[in-house]
Amino acid sequence: MKKILSAALVLLFSVSFIAFQGCKKSGNNLILATGGTSGTYYPYGGAIAQIFNTKVQNMNVTAQATGASSENLRLVGKDEADLAIVQNDVLDYAYNGTKLFEGKQIKGLATVATLYREVVQIAVSPESKINSIADMKGKKISVGDAGSGVEANAVQILESSNLTFADLKASHLSFKESGNAYQDKQIDGFFVTAGIPNAAIQEITAMQKIKIVSLDAKTIEQLVKQYPYYTPFTITKETYKGMAADATTVAVKATLIVRDDLDETVVYNLTKALFENQAELAKSHAKGKELDINEAVKGISVPLHPGAKKYYIEKGILK
């Protein structure tokens, strides 16, 4: 009797597993990997999921909090997530097996669209006497979570001034942890790569002073030439309370990706829903205002999913 019961349970599990996989491949139930709850990816991803669920028939997309770009790419690569928001530079590393993913290339990735610019922001204490990247030598600086896109940006920017983490008193903290450490005077400054304004920096400026370090024109030119996914960006002084002047820096792009084996029609419908409901997305999250179909395929180094490409061809964005 026990053997019959066990066999029945195994059969039931097998049928359920196959049914789940079939449902997943059909795109009826999808997981969207986002980021930490204190960042931009999580609420923005939630707003995107809401668009998909209300505008695409029989669609159920769940936005899931994660460790952001690097973890998201691994989740999609392992089929543990179907969609994800990632930095376009980190996406490039994963697809080509370089930098953070040296020897650990991730397959099965496809691009849907770039969403908005993520700005490299270097926040420091006015008392730290840090006025340039070179001034960070010997200072207590948070360079982002280990293995994160922020860390990769920090490495590249420090290299532009011939510095490495070994030249700093470096710590690997999340945005929220960096903000807390700054307020407790445990660090002199920190790197953030995110949409602006960033909540962690805003929280600090409500109670304490902060300074955003500028990159000089030569450094920006060097970074853009060496790493094509960077673009020049100016953080205006109105962005954060207490900024005395605009700050010049570089930016990457937040990018929506999918599993490359996701059904073409499903991805076409998702892409269409995203852009045709941009106004609604903008009401749900401020970053939705930056979604622009004319910019959606710029800064992409990983192939577009055929479903997304079909939509862009229909709209005349691609030939």
Q: Identify the domain containing residue 82 by its residue range.
A: 26-117+253-314
What are the tens digits of pLDDT across the range 182-192? 999 999 999 99
Q: How many domains does the chain have?
A: 2
In this prediction, residue 99 has a pLDDT band, given cuts at 50, 70 and 90, of: confident
Would you state the pLDDT for residue 72? 95
Q: Are residues 131 and 248 in the same domain?
A: yes
C-alpha 273/C-alpha 179 separation (Å) is 36
Would you state the pLDDT for residue 78? 97
Would you state the pLDDT for residue 3? 42
Interval 108-121 mean pLDDT: 96
Q: Are residues 45 and 164 in the same domain?
A: no
Q: Is the pTM of this model over 0.85?
A: no
Q: Residue 21 above 80 pLDDT? A: no
What are the tens digits of pLDDT across the range 40-84? 899 999 999 999 999 999 999 999 999 888 899 999 999 999 999
Q: Which residue, of 227, 252, 277, is where some domain finishes? A: 252
**b/e map 245-259, b = 16+ CB within 10 Å:** eebbbbbbbbbbbbb
For helices 149-159 and 88-96, the axis angle rounded to 10 degrees is: 90
Residue 183 lies in a domain: yes
10 Å CB burial of residue 309 (0-12, 13-18, 19+) is: buried
What is the CATH number for 69?
Answer: 3.40.190.10
Contact 251, 230 (CB under 8 A): yes
Q: Are residues 35 and 123 in the same domain?
A: no
Q: Residue 23 above 80 pLDDT? A: no
In order of 48, 164, 274, the CA distances from 222 in angstroms are 35, 17, 35
What are the tens digits of pLDDT across the range 217-235? 999 999 999 888 898 999 9
Would you state the pLDDT for residue 281? 98
Residue 278 lies in a domain: yes
Would you state the pLDDT for residue 135? 97
Q: Are residues 231 and 306 in the same domain?
A: no
Q: Are residues 105 and 148 in the same domain?
A: no
Interval 183-202 mean pLDDT: 93
Residue 206 lies in a domain: yes
Q: Are residues 188 and 149 in the same domain?
A: yes
What are the tens digits of pLDDT across the range 165-179? 999 999 999 888 999
Q: Residue 5 above 90 pLDDT? A: no
